[in-house]
Each structure stands twice: as structure tokens, then as C-alpha cells.
Amino acid sequence: MRPLALAALAAFALSAQAQGGPTDPQIAHIVVTANQIDIDAGKLAKSKSKNKEVDKFAQQMITDHGAVNKQAVALAKKLKVKPEDNDTSKSLMKGAHEETAKLKKLKGKEFDKEYVDHEVAYHQAVLDAIDKTLVPSAKNAELKGLIEKVRPAIQAHLDHAKHLQADLGK
């Protein structure tokens, strides 16, 4: 997923800039998709990992990203915005399916390392998309506000994942 997620988000950022940015319905779909991918990865990690810290991190991803999705869906309903599927969300899902298939084949420390490496790359890619595309392109102030509000949590997830990555590398 690392190369795919990064490539998808980078291609999205470039095409979005050329087209004036994604629409609010597209942004809403990307936000929900990105969160769901991390919820699903967290659930897989909880079912496969025997590492207490990895399990704790995975639960935090499920809880935090689930809460953001609830907020995003509620906001979309309030604004009467129907999240619109787009090339970026499709590419993110394709990469997630490939990463999940890869993770399902791994066990033990190999699984933990791959999962945490994925989380580092994924959260960095999401931060880049937030900063370079999603926030600058969002037209609706409440949608932009939600993305800005969750950015510190995404940064905290990245920092936590990097700490786990260092610990697993020892």
C-alpha cells in the first residue's frame, strides 16, 4: 500500500491542483474512505498481532478513525452533501485491498512490522493530502473545519506509529 497510497495521493494532488481542486462531495468521500481503510487495517491488526503495543495502537486507530467517520457522515447529512466516489478514493481502496492481502499472509513480528510501516507511510500520505489538497480545496467552512480539527490527531497517529516502528526495529 505504501507506494500505491503515496502514488494515489500524489497523483490526486497534482490532478486536483490542475482542475482547481476536488469538490466538497469528493473531499467528503476521500475523508470517509481514508478513515475506513485505517479502521479495517486496525481490525486486522487486532485479530493477528500478539504484540500488546501494536494491539493498543490498532484499537486507537479503530476508535479515532471511527469517530472521525461518524462526524464526517453527520456533517455530510447536515450539509446535504452526498459523498462522491472519485479516482482518488477508488485508488485508495485498491491499494488497501492489496495491502490487506499482503498483511493476511504474514504472522508474528513480520506482520507487526509491515502493519506499522504501512501506518507510518499511510498517515504521512494523509497529512500531505490534508495540507496540500483537501484543506486548500474545501469550499465549505464546516468541512474544512472538520479536516483541520482532525489533523492534529493524524499527526499524533503518525508520531505514535513512528515510535512503534523504532521499537519494533530493535
Section 35-40 average pLDDT: 94
SS3 state of residue 82:
coil
Q: Which domain holds residue 73?
A: 2-168
Q: What is the pLDDT of residue 86?
A: 85
pLDDT range class, residue 20, cuts 50, 70, 90? low
Highest mean pLDDT among 8-12, 13-17, 38-42, 128-132: 38-42
**b/e code 96-133 from CB counts within 10 Å (16+ = b):** beebeeebeeeeeeebbbbbbbbbbbbbbbbbebbebb
Considering only CA atoms, which of 168, 64, 30, 35 is closest in space to residue 112?
A: 168
Q: What is the CATH number of the domain that holds 39?
A: 1.20.1260.10
Distances (CA, A) of 70 to 75, 90, 110, 130, 140: 9, 21, 32, 18, 18
Q: What is the pLDDT of residue 1?
A: 41
* Average pLDDT value for the chain: 88
Domain count, the chain: 1
**Distance between CA 61 and CA 38 in Å, rounded?**
6
Q: What is the pLDDT of residues 95-150, one digit of tens each?
A: 889 999 999 999 999 999 999 999 999 999 889 889 988 999 999 999 999 999 99
Section 150-167 average pLDDT: 96
